[in-house]
Structure 1
């Protein structure tokens, strides 16, 4: 949902500043919209808008349902075990909150696409929904960056001063990320307007005379801050982390290497097609000339690519949580905590024995002895890495 997304993907609704600059008789947005809807010659392509709307509806719905469940579970488990979730649990918790915010916007985009980009929720919702989406999108990406940097810093800086202040520093960084993510979308959101044409549409409507400048500035800032810079930092610090783990001689170094490759690959797969398409459409006619059919294909598939980028809300919980043995143990512990206990009528001794044994079997580590009933209240403490020598690598760094 960016400059191009707010324009809509139908060629009859495209509002490109480059075309406007070639039309001396057009002086405002109303005349320009009329021109595009009635007089602009189009390339004839055999692409079905109705089929695309059905596909988008299914994709949005699937991402919404799966992402909602996954991120709620991540938030629940990490919030419940916030004091015992490992060194980087704060970033993972905040990233899950940001991904949940993105997921909560999907029903609006789903209905908007189904209604052929007709906006039914008023002017305030037009701006607030886009703002809420952008703020959470940037937050999710920035927390990924923080996670990558902090993991490497913790591996290489084991000074007592850092050990004492690391939690406070992380809280300040998280607060700063939310503030920064709340500021970055403002230049774009202030130009979102509800336009009353044949039907109401929520569009990016910068001043007509400087539209191309605004569109290019917003697109470049989105690409640099939302992809290029984060990609560089995520790649560099994850690779440095892998090198550090190899130097430490970790026996599970291959697994960590594969995870790091997955972190980088998922980020590129989700975001690269989106930003390439956005840049091409923004630069078309003002800075470069694309073939008519290519332009139509880009506009047609833009919404699908935009929807595909939101898969990060589904993949992030898997990569950074569900693949972690530590998280799975805490999840089991949290679930066991709410399982119904054996009724006292079955006998005091039988109840105590069966319930405590059952809980301990589920959540204790191999080689440890089951404790008394109520063990599950403190089980996550027993799931931390064993005490290591100063030269070893903390297991909780890669558990997340």
Structure 2
């Protein structure tokens, strides 16, 4: 699932790779290059912990993201202008969640890969492509909020829908291309037990590992995080300057957006870089190296919490989304009531012959319409709105 899966032991000098001639020798080399210091760490406890975390994230994330996709897809044509980014972000998070059962089984099988060479590469590619998509759509959402709030030009108002669609297509294409340099070096290694590992050429393994780790950190955190901070802060300041009545709530949401992204991703990228640089560019203490290798999988799993938190922050905290969700849930209730009323009217007409009540099958009773859902100035899904753009 991650670069360190195939790069677990890279502490020896790069020139030692010249004496290795096959995969089995390389695996033996990996397993005997950690510094010799002894630590009592329970692998069985770690496996159980990982399985529970993966299972919890899978169940909760699956339900949340499916609800977000259904509601936003149903309301895409008539709801907030930014719902397109939220919908695509939920699709990307759902893709990450759907890959979790494979990682759960791999952990419980002690990283033995039993599903063939194609699935080895495709599963990693599928995970990384959706990971980058989710992060990039968060950045696009942050930027577009501020642009929509401040830009009132007629050209933007006319072409904003088309531009958002083009941006979404561009994000998916970019996210599909970025993982390729890493995925082409992921292979199924047939040792005593088959393992799905990152296997760059022997002579340039450390260079490839460093390039992939740096690109993952730069594209996945170093560039997106400052953009999120800057545009979310600018949006909050703009709303407060405009005297928006819920300015304090928006500022708290902005702090939550930034804090959640940092908490989920910063530990992962710091650990990835430290383990990649260790042995060739920096020297870490023996016990620290063991701790980082041991907890890397847990930290990697912890980063996937964004698939659970994103639907809450960007959807379920919004009053309008809750109204849309309630409307979607009760969408079929009027039909049930109509059928019941039709049966009652049929019984009444057959017994009394006084009157005939006709109810169409698709009729919607007046109670179904909700003033906050149909109102053109309803609060926005992500918790932001603008005086100049009611759907914002």
Q: TM-score, normalised by structure 2?
A: 0.89
Q: Is the 8 A contact 2:376 2:391 kept in 1?
A: no
Q: SS of 2:223's equivalent?
A: helix
Q: Does 1:345 align with 2:355?
A: no
The aligned counterpart of 2:318 is 324
Distance 1:70 1:213 in 2: 40
Q: Is the 8 A contact 2:14 2:206 kept in 1?
A: no
Distance 2:145 2:332 in 1: 33
Alignment match of 1:79 (pick from 66, 69, 73): 73
Unaligned runs of 5+ in 1: 8-13, 366-379
The aligned counterpart of 2:365 is 356
Name the Cα RMSD after superposition.
2.2
The aligned counterpart of 1:3 is 3
Deviation of 1:364 (Å): 3.2
Distance 1:336 1:364 in 2: 15
Deviation of 1:41 (Å): 6.1
1:141-190, Cα deviation, whole Å (9 max, x unpaired): 00000000000011111111111100000000000000000000000000
Q: SS of 1:193's equivalent?
A: strand
Q: SS of 2:147's equivalent?
A: helix
1:59-105, Cα deviation, whole Å (9 max, x unpaired): 00000010000000000011111112201000000000000000010
Question: Per the alignment, do residues 38 and 157 of structure 1 end up closer, same or farther by CA in structure 2, a change over 3 Å counting?
Answer: closer
Q: Does 1:272 align with 2:279?
A: no
Q: Is the 8 A contact 2:121 2:187 kept in 1?
A: yes
Distance 1:160 1:302 in 2: 50
Distance 1:23 1:335 in 2: 60
The aligned counterpart of 1:396 is 391
Distance 1:392 1:41 in 2: 62
Unaligned runs of 5+ in 2: 346-355, 380-385
Deviation of 1:39 (Å): 8.2
Distance 1:119 1:185 in 2: 20
Distance 2:34 2:327 in 1: 62
Alignment match of 1:183 (pick from 148, 164, 177): 177
Q: SS of 1:123's equivalent?
A: helix
Question: Per the alignment, do residues 263 and 393 of structure 1 end up closer, same or farther by CA in structure 2, a change over 3 Å counting?
Answer: farther
Q: TM-score, normalised by structure 1?
A: 0.87
1:242-287, Cα deviation, whole Å (9 max, x unpaired): 1111111101000000000000000000000000000000000000
Deviation of 1:198 (Å): 1.1
Q: SS of 1:194's equivalent?
A: strand
Matched ranges for 1:81-230 at <5 A: 81-230=75-224
Q: Is the 8 A contact 2:129 2:178 kept in 1?
A: yes
